[in-house]
Amino acid sequence: MTTPATVLVLGADIEGLAAAATLAEAGRTVHVIDGRERPGGLAGRVRVAEGYSAPGLLTEGALVRRALLADLQLERAGFAWRDDHPVLHVGREAPLITIRHDRVDGVAAADAEAYREWRAYIKRVAGFVDGVLGDGPPAVDEPGLRDVLELAMRGLRLRSLGDADMMELLRIVTLPARDWLGEHFVSPALQAGLVAPVLSGTIVGPRAAGTTALMLMRECARGSEPVGGLAGLVDALLSRCEELGVTFHLGSNPSKILVDSARGHVAGVAVGEERLTGGTVLSTLDPAHTVLDLLEPGVLPHHVETEMTGWRRRGDTAIQLLACSSIDGSNGEGGEPIERLITAGSEVELERAADALKYGTLPDEPCLDVRIWRGEPHAPAGGATLVVHVHGVPHGGETGWSDEARTRLRAQVIEVLESVSPGVGNRIIGESLLMPDDLEREFGMPGGHLYHGELALDQLWLQRPSIALSRYETPIAGLFLAGAGSHPGGPYFCGAGVLGARRALLA
C-alpha cells in the first residue's frame, strides 16, 4: 500500500509534535509516524496507579523554548503557562535550603548576598546565552554570506556585554561547575542544589570540565513551566496538530527511509509493508539511529557516517515512579510543601554518584532529583505522585539489570525519601522503576539516554549531532533532523522541533 504525503515526521515525542504543528501551521500536509501507541514520549502522561499519574517522566519543565511556540497559538487548546516558579528544596533533613529565582534561604548571610550577586550576573548574560539556544547554528563547513553575518552579529552581541562580563563568560565556560560555584559560595548544599539539575543527561559529576557551561545554559534559559507539566504541553500540541489536520500513524516504527539515489533526494518511509511517500522527511528520532539504521549504508558521505558512529548516548539515569496515598514532604514544621527536591548535600556526593557511571555499577548512595505532583489530575486529594530521577545509573547492557540490583536501588531510593518524608514507604500504593535499558526498550531510545545524546561541550551547538548535520539538514535533499539530538536539544524542549521544521520549510 502506498500513501502519498507532503511531509513525514518520524517520532511523536514532544519535539515531533512541535515540528508537526509548525509544519501544519505553515500549510503543509503532515503525517507523523511513531512506534508507540500514545504520542508524547517521555513528556507524555504516565499512569502509576488507579487515580495517580505523572505528567511526564522528566523533572525539568522550565526550559521549554516558549518564544518558539508563540506562533502555534496553543492557548486555543486551553494551554497556559504558570505564573510562579517551583521552589527548589535541597537536603535531606529540615530545615532545607530553598532556592528561588531571586533569593536563597537557609544559608549564611554571606552566601545569600553572594547568590543575589550571582543571579545579577546571570541576568546580564542571559540575553546572549538564551539567544544562542533560540537560534539555529550557523554553517561553518561551507558558510555563506548569511552565516558570516550571523557569526558577526553573535560576536557583536557578545562584545556588547562589556569587557568585564564578556571576559568572565569566556573564562568560566570551560570550568568545572565545582570550581565556579566554589568561587562564590561556601554552603556545600547550595552548590549541590545549583549543579545537580544539569547533571542529568551527562555521565560526569560537578568536577568535570564544561559543567559550568551547562549551568549557564540552564540558568539563562529558565522561564515559566507549562500548567500541568510537560504533559500539559504535549496535550496542547496534540490538540493543535489534530486541529490542523495532522495524520498520525502509531504503533509501528519506521523501518527504512527511502531515497531516490538517482536524484539524491528522499522519497518516503517504509513502515512494515506500507510505504509512505513524500518529498520531505523530518526525523525527531535519535540522530545516530536515523543516519546509521534507517538509511542504507553508503547513501551518506563516509565522513558523515563516521562522525555519527562516535555519537555518545549512554544512559545515566533511572526513574522511580511512586504513587503515595499521602506525603509529609514539607520544609519543617509549618513549612511550604515541597514541589521539587534535590537530596544531595554537597558536590562530593554528586561526584561519588557519578563515579558509578565510570565503572558500570549502581551508586552506593544515590542522589535524587524529585518532582512531587499533588492533587488532580495527578493524584486524589491528599495524595501525590512522585517522579524520582536517580543520576549515576548506567545502562545494564544486553541483559539489563538483575532483579536483585533493581530491588537494591529501589530500597536505596525509599531510604533517602524517608529522611525527608518519614513513613513514605508505607504509603506507596503503586510504583514503577525504569532503568536505562527499560527506557531503551519501552520508548525506543538507543542507549536509554533521556535526551538522545549526552550533554557535553563536544556534543552541543555546532557539534549537535555533528558539524555536517548541525543545521538540521543532511546531505540527502529533503531529509532533516529535528529531535533532542539536534541543537538546542536535551531539556530545551521544542527548540529542535520548531527550528528543524522551520529549516525544512525553507527547502
- pTM (predicted TM-score): 0.95
What are the pLDDT digits (tens) for 411-449? 999 999 999 999 999 999 999 999 999 999 999 999 999
The 10 Å Cβ neighbour count of residue 296 is 11
- Cα(167)–Cα(163) distance, rounded to whole angstroms? 6
- Cα(386)–Cα(374) distance, rounded to whole angstroms? 9
SS3 386: strand
Architecture of domain 2-40+227-312+451-506: 3-Layer(bba) Sandwich (3.50)
Would you place residue 400 in the very low, low, confident or very high pLDDT band (cuts 50, 70, 90)?
Answer: confident
- Cα(95)–Cα(194) distance, rounded to whole angstroms? 18
Q: Between the CA of residue 97 and those of 59, 93, 94, 172, 340, what are the distances in Å? A: 19, 10, 8, 25, 12
Tell me what percent of the residues of the chain surpass a pLDDT of 70. Answer: 98
- Cα(376)–Cα(362) distance, rounded to whole angstroms? 35
| pLDDT score of 399 | 85
Q: Cell match 558539524: residue?
A: 467
CA 486 and chain centroid, separation:
11
Residue 480 has pLDDT above 70, yes or no: yes
| Amino acid (one-letter) located at 293 | D
Query: On the CB side of 164, how many CA atoms lie within 13 Å of its CA?
Result: 2
Under DSSP, the state recorded for 336 is: P
The 10 Å Cβ neighbour count of residue 400 is 17
SS3 409: helix
Helix (H) or strand (E) holding 442: helix 436-443
| pLDDT score of 138 | 87
Segment 455-468 shows an average pLDDT of: 94
How many residues appear in the chain?
507
| 115 contacts 185 by C-beta, under 8 angstroms | yes
Residue 440 dihedral angles phi and psi, to the nearest 5°: -65, -45
Residue 4 has pLDDT above 70, yes or no: no
In 160-273, beta strands by DSSP E: 247-250, 256-260, 265-271
- Cα(156)–Cα(342) distance, rounded to whole angstroms? 38
| 129 contacts 221 by C-beta, under 8 angstroms | yes
Q: Is the previous residue joined to 206 through a cis bond, with omega within 30 degrees of 0?
A: no
What are the pLDDT digits (tens) for 37-76? 999 999 999 999 999 999 999 999 999 999 999 999 999 8
| pLDDT score of 3 | 55
- The grid coordinates listed for 398 are 544486553
The strand order across the sheet containing 256-260 reads: 2-4, 274-277, 265-271, 256-260
Segment 346-372 shows an average pLDDT of: 94
Bridge partners of 226, per DSSP, are: 81
Using only C-alpha atoms, what is the Rg of the chain? 22
| pLDDT score of 154 | 82
| pLDDT score of 23 | 97
Tell me what percent of the residues of the chain surpass a pLDDT of 90. Answer: 85
| Amino acid (one-letter) located at 112 | A
Q: Where are the domains of the chain?
A: 2-40+227-312+451-506, 111-219
What are the pLDDT digits (tens) for 322-348? 999 998 766 554 567 899 999 999 999
What are the pLDDT digits (tens) for 208-238? 999 999 999 999 999 999 999 999 999 999 9
- The grid coordinates listed for 233 are 504541553
- The grid coordinates listed for 8 are 513525514
| pLDDT score of 108 | 97
| pLDDT score of 1 | 46
- Sign, CA dihedral 52-58-62-64, equals negative
Q: Between the CA of residue 397 and those of 156, 310, 435, 498, what are the distances in Å? A: 47, 18, 11, 34
DSSP secondary structure letters along 450-507: TTSS--SGGGSGGGSS-GGGTTSB-SSBTEEE-STTSSS-TTSTTHHHHHHHHHHHH-
| 259 contacts 265 by C-beta, under 8 angstroms | yes
